[in-house]
Amino acid sequence: MGEIVQFKKISVADRHKGKSLCQFGFHKWKIFKEKQFDVKQGKLVTVYQCTRCTKTKSKAI
């Protein structure tokens, strides 16, 4: 006979913790790559990444 494996019960609030803010545009931005050269713009670019949902954005210096 096989073993019975117990699964952890994860509440809905824990499963989606922190993601609800990103849905409404309140990201938690952190610098991902500080200075990167963009060939199309010909400028230095700072890349930001959200620590909750890993979405990225870039800003020209």
User: What's the pLDDT score for residue 28?
Assistant: 92
In this predicted model, what pLDDT tens digit does every residue of 46-59 receive, in sequence order?
999 999 888 999 88
**Using CA atoms, how far apart are residues 47 and 56, in angstroms rounded to an integer?**
7
Q: Are 23 and 45 in contact (CB under 8 A)?
A: no
User: What's the pLDDT score for residue 47?
Assistant: 92
Mean local confidence (pLDDT), 12-21: 73
